[in-house]
Amino acid sequence: MKNSEFIIDRVPITKEEVRSINLSKLELEKAKIMVDIGSGTGSISVEAAYINPNLKVYSIEKNAKAFELTAKNIEKFALKNVEQIQNNAPCDLDKSDLNSRVDCIFMGGSGQNTKEIIKWSYDLLKIGGKFVANFILIENLIDTKNYLSECGFKDIEVSQVIISKLEKLGKGNFLKPENPIFIIEGKK
């Protein structure tokens, strides 16, 4: 999905190229239940739910403005398979429809409690479940890698994604870089 399809306002969005990589790493084709922590505009929740109508998505966001923006994007795409939770993670999920643990978790924002979120995520995931997170700060990446190991995650991988977009500059064109993004993934 193009970024232009989303209602964005001034809330950060996971850019379409990075979003595509994240959704692939979450292995959604095998998933029935997904959690999106720090949903922001809701681009991960919305695209995951849109391309996988049988996927149940729990979209967690603490910021009221971002929560409202996610709601607008869910409504825009008429999604019935996303449940929003306005809260800090870790938090309770409505487990009435959960016969087992969740298949995958994406963390786009964690605030100051990354370690608690990772422990909660490990407990929530089924065996073989995927955890994927994005960062722009290398210190957050290093901390998360250490926390994933401490909690027992396996097959931890780190990638750096650098996207540049063609833009006009005078009579010519140049590739304007966006912020590099670190993607970390692990498996329970």
Question: The domain that contains 60 carries what CATH number?
Answer: 3.40.50.150
pLDDT at 12: 77
pLDDT at 69: 93
Helices (H), 31-137: 43-51, 64-76, 114-124
Q: How far apart are CA 186 and CA 29, in angstroms?
A: 17
Treating both helix axes as pointing N-terminal to C-terminal, what angle do 16-25 and 43-51 enclose, rounded to 10 degrees?
60
Give me 59's structure tokens: 């979209």
Q: How far apart are CA 56 and CA 83, in angstroms?
A: 8
pLDDT tens digits, one per residue of 104-125: 999 986 667 899 999 999 999 9
Q: What Å distances lie between residue 173 and 12, 79, 167, 176, CA to CA? A: 26, 39, 5, 9
Domain range for residue 11? 3-187
pLDDT at 163: 94
Q: How much is the mean pLDDT over the chain?
A: 90
* Cα 60–Cα 66–Cα 67 angle in degrees, nearest 5: 50
pLDDT at 113: 85
pLDDT at 102: 93
pLDDT at 100 over 90: no
pLDDT tens digits, one per residue of 9-65: 877 788 899 999 999 999 999 899 999 999 888 999 999 999 999 999 999 998 999
Number of domains in the chain: 1
pLDDT at 127: 94
Find out whether the peptide bond into 177 is cis, omega within 30 degrees of 0: no
pLDDT at 97 over 60: no
Q: What is the three-state SS of 100-114?
A: CCEEEEEECCCCCCH
Which residue in 8, 61, 57 sits closest to 37, CA to CA?
Answer: 61
pLDDT at 96 over 50: no
pLDDT at 2 over 90: no
pLDDT at 93: 67
pLDDT at 184 over 50: yes
